[in-house]
Chains A and B, each alone.
Chain A
Amino acid sequence: MNFGRQLKEGLVTQNPVLVQLLGMCSTMAITTSLSNGLGMGVSVLIILTLSNIIISALRKIIPDKIRIAAYIVVIAGFVTMVDLLLQAYFQSIANSLGVFIPLIVVNCIILARAESFASKNGVLASAVDGICQGLGYTLVLLVMSVIREFLGSGTFGGGILNGGDGIRIFPADYGALMMVLPVGGFLTLGCLIALMQWAQNRSKEGKK
């Protein structure tokens, strides 16, 4: 097990969103302010790590034929717990993320990591994988949130800084509304994926 390598894979070379292209829906839907991106990212990170640990621990007990059903039960259980805890103790995050918390159940990052990593590796390695992949997802959400919030609303840190209003960089009237709409999500994500491909190809060529 190599923590540094797993971290590099999660954040860059095997980034769940930009390279594996998993979890697109939530990525585009919720990245309209920094607090949304952070709340969603951390929620997925926690659920991914916990479900990776449990699935890895149970990997020898669960018969192959029903593994997907068993994974879904475990994941759905954790998602519901996080949903209830958010509603009880982090009202504002629960309000702004709304339906996207229950939808983490079908976030393909979690099932993909359960199937491709946790079901084949030890508990500790799976936990580290959950944390690294979760960090990669969170990082992309944060970058997207900052870009879309800045271009769309002209603020930074909406929902967290400056009493929830965010720090205003330019007047709200000049914001490009489309950047906070779904089309802005596609544009931002497309540009980020292109940037990632370019950077990876360049570093490959550099090695040759």
Chain B
Amino acid sequence: MSESAKIQMDYKYIARLAGTLFAISAVTALLLGLVNYVTAPVIDQIQAEKKAAAMAAVLPADEYPAVADFVPTDSVGALYEAVSGGETVGYVAEVTSSGFGGAMSITVGVSADGAVTGVSVTDNSETQGVGTKVVGDQSVLDGFIGMSGVITVNEGDNAFDAVTGATVSSKAVTAGVNAALEAAGAYLQ
């Protein structure tokens, strides 16, 4: 057996390797736990505020109880009933859609007669200056207001005009709105 192979079989050395790596990992994990403990409530609160602001923006109502028997799908993550003065005024859906830069989260309001009341993109990774012409411009997103049924992009009678150069982002938002309309539609009839 050569000299270097003997060193590799040295249990003390192996224990030292494992021990050092374990110690470094343990200290790191401890510190991460500490940072997470401090930041988790703040992050949760920011997310909750964003969610509440998005729901109020797309369909103002007194409260938003979750629809009890709704089963989340790949695209529609959550569905809320919008209740104002004891009456259902519509539904708010939280959908995810796949854009140019990855997944985007969209909150869509649907009125009691099945029309879009508002669209808000809460999270996206679209290209700055291109996709953001759609997802970052509320006046473009407001173009969905009043639309219903299955919305197409550019072609057809019930079409949303895609922003030039940002067709993929436009299609992604449209797909999200369609998913929301479909999910809410099941409860409107």
CA distance A175 to B125 in the complex (A): 21
CA distance A152 to B128 in the complex (A): 10
- B51 interfacial by beta-carbon distance below 8 Å: no
Per-position binary interface string of chain B over residues 10-40, scored 1 when its CB falls under 8 Å from any chain A CB and 0 otherwise: 0001001100110011001001100110110
- A162 interfacial by beta-carbon distance below 8 Å: no
- A99 interfacial by beta-carbon distance below 8 Å: yes
Which residues of B110-150 are within 8 A (CB) of A?
123, 125, 127-130
Which residues of A127-178 are within 8 A (CB) of B?
152-153, 158, 175, 177
- A180 interfacial by beta-carbon distance below 8 Å: yes
- A123 interfacial by beta-carbon distance below 8 Å: no
- Count of residues in B whose CB is under 8 Å from the partner chain: 25
CA distance A140 to B62 in the complex (A): 50
Given A96-B128, A177-B165, A180-B130, A80 contacting B24 (CB threshold 8 A):
no
Q: Are A88 and B127 in touch, CB under 8 angstroms? A: no
Residues of chain A within 8 A (CB-CB) of B20 are: 61-63, 66, 70
Which residues of A13-42 are within 8 A (CB) of B?
32-33, 36
* CB-based A-B contact count at 8 angstroms: 73
Contact size class for A? 20 to 34
Residues of chain A within 8 A (CB-CB) of B32 are: 77, 80-81
Q: Are A87 and B130 in touch, CB under 8 angstroms? A: no
Q: Are A58 and B24 in touch, CB under 8 angstroms? A: yes
- A201 interfacial by beta-carbon distance below 8 Å: no
Given A66-B21, A70-B21, A88 contacting B128 (CB threshold 8 A):
no
Tell me which of A32, A66, A84, A152 contacts B35 (CB under 8 A). Answer: A84
- B46 interfacial by beta-carbon distance below 8 Å: yes
CA distance A66 to B25 in the complex (A): 12
Q: Which residue of A lies closest to B30 (CB)?
A: A77
Tell me which of A36, A74, A81, A89 contacts B128 (CB under 8 A). Answer: A36
Q: Which of A's residues lie within 8 Å of B, judged by CB?
A: 32-33, 36, 58, 61-63, 65-66, 69-70, 73-74, 76-77, 80-81, 84-85, 87-89, 91, 95-96, 98-99, 152-153, 158, 175, 177, 180-181
